[in-house]
Structure 1
Amino acid sequence: MSTETGSGTETSTTAPSSSINLESVRAIAKKDFQDSVRSWLFWGLSSFFFMLLVAIAGGLAYFGENIAQAGATTEFLVILVSYATLLVLPLIALVLGWQSIAGERESGSIKILLSLPHSRKDVLLGKLIGRSAVLSLSLTVGFALAGVIVAAMLGSFDVVDYVGLLAMSILYGIAYTSIAVSLSSLTRSTTIAGAAMFGVFVLFYIVWNAIIQAIQTLIGWGYLSPETYTLEVNGESFEAERLPDWAFFIDSIDPGNAYSNALSIVTGATETELGVALEEAMFDGSVPFYLQDWFSFIILLFWIVAPIAIALYRFDRVDL
């Protein structure tokens, strides 16, 4: 278990770690990225994203003739790819960050790295930037190489939507990379780090959804009180029930939901008019700020900044 550094000797050893040297951060990030390129990790990810896009575009071109005739092929491509990246990107990011710090602590190479003029904060930020660069550039290369083929397959191709999907996928991937690197810095072994990564995946893809289902169940059993609103259908008014505001807030801060909602702003994959009207009716025409699409960017930025900020504070104080 990690312990706080409390002795005088330990304090003097870790004192330099309170500062951040940008040149040192850049050097660590560069080496981390170059190691990934040499191990073919970067090219493997680029090939994967390339094949994913081409496969989805090929299926859409083959089975979606009516969609193509309606001129909405890029919009549907964004929707289909986002469904895939919603699951795939967190897995890739968590695997990328899994051994970033824990592996070096387990092998003891972290002490050699820190014997050079690098502070702990430099190492942590360098690893985050390096792993984020691997994921971001592999996404960019995969999207760029697939772009020509996708455009040829679809016939109708919106570059703005395509680039918007890429940009949001990068932001979403960096959020999970930050979570992964941060957790890796707080664990002594790759086994514990791996368990932590699995726990994060279960949290956001099983537990988070289960919380909303549990709230709905408790409302159905009468243990929680729902909110009521008036819904008009064909000129007639009906009383309907919805989840409490705090339940919607819990649901909104899931990175996956934030990613999907943010795509509505930067691409043509917008919500349906019926969905927008229903949401407005549920909140009497005043949708809370945390359910508005622009707030999704704040949530994604939070998941990038908050984990690494906590890790920067804690990593200075753990016993290596």
Structure 2
Amino acid sequence: MSILLVAKKDFQDAIRSLTLVAVVGIFTAFLAFYTYYEFTMTPLTTTTAFDLYQSTANAVVVIGTLLGYKSIAGERESGSLKFLLGAPHTRRDVVLGKFLGRVAVVVVTVVIGFVVVSPHYVMLAASPSVTAYVGLIGRLLVPGVVFVAVALALSAASRSTTVAMWGAIVLAIVFAFAWDMVRNVIESFMLPPDAGIPNWFRLITRFNPKYFYLDAQTLELGNAAPFYLEPWFGGVIVAGWLLIPLGLAYLLFERSDLA
């Protein structure tokens, strides 16, 4: 129950501080522009809901990271963490409650954004599909939730919001942008051009939570794909990205003082 109370307070704080309004507004504006651009500049015979994933996934990674980095460091810096723990809530309650509160902001942001721009999709997509659209929303929530957890661990390890902020910026740059750039360079210049993409390279790509869904079925590899390209292994990757950062966040927070 204490976890839910912390989560509720965190979500309400996001509303009172207008953080939720700002994040929803910025994401929806970006999504409206991007859907219009994607569906009008790309031939309508090839454009689908999946074509929206890449850039919007990068945006969701950034949102999750920026929402998470102040979760504990900000409370510690302002001194309100002492009052929160005196409520009484345990440190585990604070970690999990903060996580759920920030995840709620991510979910509301993504859902509202895609509901608002759904007319763009219906009018301009080649073959509008409610199932594909809802599936896209669900798939996008995964990296958002994961990077809230990762940024939360970063926040628990930081003594100030400045340190946490720079860590969050680096984190967002690496996983939202640099990962793809390095992957493209390796694929274009370092892999044998006629040998095809090796499975180990697909696994490395899949370790980025943005690409957890890249299984053998999605890649059309047939039945000879290794186990780490099976659909269930994507769940293992996501679980690892959630449980390890949350565990680290709790351990770091448990061993730190409140000053």
TM score, norm. by length of structure 1: 0.70
Q: Are residues 61 and 46 of structure 1, via their aligned partners in 2, closer, same or farther at CA, if it must alter by over 3 Å?
A: same
Output aligned runs, 1:247-266, within 5 Å.
248-258=202-212, 261=214
Q: 1:62, 1:215 → 2: CA distance?
A: 29
Output aligned runs, 1:140-151, within 5 Å.
140-151=111-122
Task: Provide the residue aligned with 1:18 in structure 2.
Answer: none
Task: Provide the residue aligned with 1:126 in structure 2.
Answer: 97
1:42 alignment partner AA: L
Residue 86 (structure 1) aligned with residue 57 (structure 2): yes
TM score, norm. by length of structure 2: 0.84
Task: Provide the residue aligned with 2:109 in structure 1.
Answer: 138
| Partner SS, residue 225 of structure 2 | coil
Q: 1:180, 1:198 → 2: CA distance?
A: 10
The one-character-per-residue Cα deviations of 1:263-305 (angstroms, maximum 9, x if unpaired) are x97xxxx54xxxx3xx56xxxx621121234422321232122
Residue 33 (structure 1) aligned with residue 33 (structure 2): no
| Partner SS, residue 301 of structure 1 | helix
Q: 2:25, 2:167 → 1: CA distance?
A: 28
**Structure having the larger proportion of residues in strand:** 1
| Partner SS, residue 99 of structure 1 | coil
Q: CA deviation at 1:246?
A: 5.1
Contact 1:184/1:193 (8 A) holds in 2: yes
Q: 1:199, 1:55 → 2: CA distance?
A: 26
2:22 alignment partner AA: G
2:17 alignment partner AA: S
Q: Are residues 257 and 61 of structure 1, via their aligned partners in 2, closer, same or farther at CA, if it must alter by over 3 Å?
A: closer
Unaligned 5+ runs, structure 1 = 1-22, 221-225, 227-238
Task: Provide the residue aligned with 1:116 in structure 2.
Answer: 87
Output aligned runs, 1:28-107, within 5 Å.
28-64=6-42, 66-67=43-44, 70=45, 72-73=46-47, 75=48, 77-79=49-51, 81-107=52-78
Contact 2:69/2:164 (8 A) holds in 1: yes
Contact 2:187/2:197 (8 A) holds in 1: no
Q: 1:215, 1:149 → 2: CA distance?
A: 34
Output aligned runs, 1:280-319, within 5 Å.
286-319=224-257
Contact 2:10/2:101 (8 A) holds in 1: yes
Q: Are residues 85 and 32 of structure 1, via their aligned partners in 2, closer, same or farther at CA, if it must alter by over 3 Å?
A: same
Q: Are residues 247 and 106 of structure 1, via their aligned partners in 2, closer, same or farther at CA, if it must alter by over 3 Å?
A: same
Residue 196 (structure 1) aligned with residue 134 (structure 2): no
Task: Provide the residue aligned with 2:178 in structure 1.
Answer: 206
Identity percentage of aligned residues: 32
Q: 2:188, 2:30 → 1: CA distance?
A: 36
Higher mean Cα deviation, 186-195 or 309-318? 309-318
After superposition, the CA RMSD in angstroms is 3.1
Q: 1:156, 1:252 → 2: CA distance?
A: 28
Q: CA deviation at 1:193?
A: 0.9
Task: Provide the residue aligned with 1:8 in structure 2.
Answer: none
Q: CA deviation at 1:249?
A: 3.4
Q: Are residues 188 and 37 of structure 1, via their aligned partners in 2, closer, same or farther at CA, if it must alter by over 3 Å?
A: same
| Partner SS, residue 316 of structure 1 | helix
Pick the structure with greater CA Rg: 1
Q: 1:93, 1:124 → 2: CA distance?
A: 15
The one-character-per-residue Cα deviations of 1:103-148 (angstroms, maximum 9, x if unpaired) are 1111221112111110011011111000000011111111122223
| Partner SS, residue 166 of structure 1 | helix
Contact 2:69/2:155 (8 A) holds in 1: yes
